Amino acid sequence: MDANLPTATSNCGAPNTGVLKLDGSVPVVEITGLWTKFGRTVVHQDLNLAIQAGEILSIVGGSGTGKTVLLRQMLGLEHPARGCVRVFGEDISEVDAGQLQKLRNHWGMLFQQGALYSALTVFENIAQPLRELHKIPEDLVRDVVLLKMNMVGLGPEHADKMPSDLSGGMVKRVALARALALEPQLLFLDEPTAGLDPDLSESFVALIKSLHRELGLTVVMVTHDLDTLFALSTRIAVLAEKHVIAIGPTRELLKIDHPFIKEFFLGDRGRRALEALDSSPPQPKAAPEQPLNQH
Ligand SMILES: Nc1ncnc2c1ncn2[C@@H]1O[C@H](COP(=O)(O)OP(=O)(O)OP(=O)(O)O)[C@@H](O)[C@H]1O
């Protein structure tokens, strides 16, 4: 294909049905033939990626390889120059505002800095997605917010605090409670442990792991933190040369002879993180072991 490909519209083939497929009968996210261009710069070139229900899929790649842009395309915040992005079976670039809102009700997003509303209390921040639905009675909103706070390890005594009164770890927990407010099937995590010290980071990873298991979530994560990456991922997609060059469980990726993979996984930091993983107690598998795909 020509790298100077003209901008084209979505390429999913079949039109949207208006019915979200939430039963795992199709990949939760399916990206095919995706091209992203900014001016003359091609960021993604014929990129393919399928994310299955129940997995924790992490996207890694060097700086500027387009991980954030890819996440934003899955959220419908940006559209590719060409190619198809389906979420729960629907072409995200073809949905109207109503359908996009319907999709949003089935996913949660944890932004890197938490992105809490600074003028709202902890309670109000977590209540906000519930109130946007305009149909939940206030006493139910209260129960759900307190339940979500409990779920992320925050007692009710924190409900009236302002974001500025919270530690970095608490901000992440509030943001996670808000992302889970509508009981989504799909959770997007952008650098979930960035800015946390090692102890807080470890306890946040343990929280995500237990919520993933208990709630049966599908998780899509972008992280540079190797400890977080190895501790959480059921599969890792490696972005290089403008597309996904390999996807599979950590141990399988290590077998691939590619300069980025060697440097990223088997450099000093990678080796230390893998040793830490090997010395930690085994965890129950959250999703069936997946084979390796190399492209
Ligand atoms: N709105 C935009 N306009 C122009 N260029 C953009 C825009 N958004 C992203 N880019 C470019 O696209 C490329 C991919 O950006 P992106 O932020 O997705 O990379 P990344 O893999 O997340 O990088 P990092 O690991 O450093 O965060 C970069 O070269 C970036 O400068």
Single-letter residue type at 244 = V
* pLDDT surpassing 70 at residue 118: yes
Q: What is the ipTM of this complex?
A: 0.97
> From residue 112, how far is each of 109, 197, 217, 224 by CA, in Å?
10, 15, 19, 12
What pLDDT digit, counting tens, does each position of 9-26 carry? Answer: 457 888 888 888 988 889
pLDDT classification of 197: cutoffs 50, 70, 90? confident
What pLDDT sits at residue 189?
94
Q: Which of 7-11, 178-182, 206-210 has the lowest mean pLDDT?
A: 7-11
Q: What is the pLDDT of residue 284?
A: 45
Please tell me the residue having the least CA distance from ligand 1 atom 6: 38
Comparing 31 with 272, the larger pLDDT belongs to 31
Among the listed residues 214, 208, 258, the one whose alpha carbon sits nearest the alpha carbon of residue 229 = 208
State pTM to two decimals. 0.88
CA separation for the pair 74, 30 (Å, rounded) = 9
- Domains recognised in the chain with CATH numbers: 29-106+184-294 (3.40.50.300), 111-173 (no CATH)
- Among 37-46, 127-136, 165-174, 282-291, the range scoring the smallest mean pLDDT is 282-291
Locate 29 and state its tokens: 């996210």
What does the pLDDT average to over 168-187? 92
Window from 11-15, 25-29, 106-110 with minimum mean pLDDT: 11-15
What is the SS3 assignment for 54?
coil
CB neighbourhood size of 78 (10 A): 16
| pLDDT reading at 226 higher than 70 | yes
Distance 30 CA to ligand 1 centre (A): 21
Q: What is the mean pLDDT of the chain?
A: 88
Residues with Cβ < 8 Å from 248, sequence gap 6 or more?
235, 236, 290, 291, 292, 293, 294
| pLDDT value, residue 288 | 46
Q: Whose CA is nearest to atom 27 of ligand 1?
A: 63
Q: Is 65 in the pocket of ligand 1 (CB under 6 A)?
A: yes
User: Would you say the CB of residue 62 lies under 6 angstroms from ligand 1?
Assistant: no
| Binding site membership of 189 for ligand 1 (Cβ less than 6 Å) | no
Contact status, residue 99 vs residue 17, Cβ threshold 8 Å: no
Query: Does 69 contact ligand 1 (Cβ within 6 A)?
Result: yes
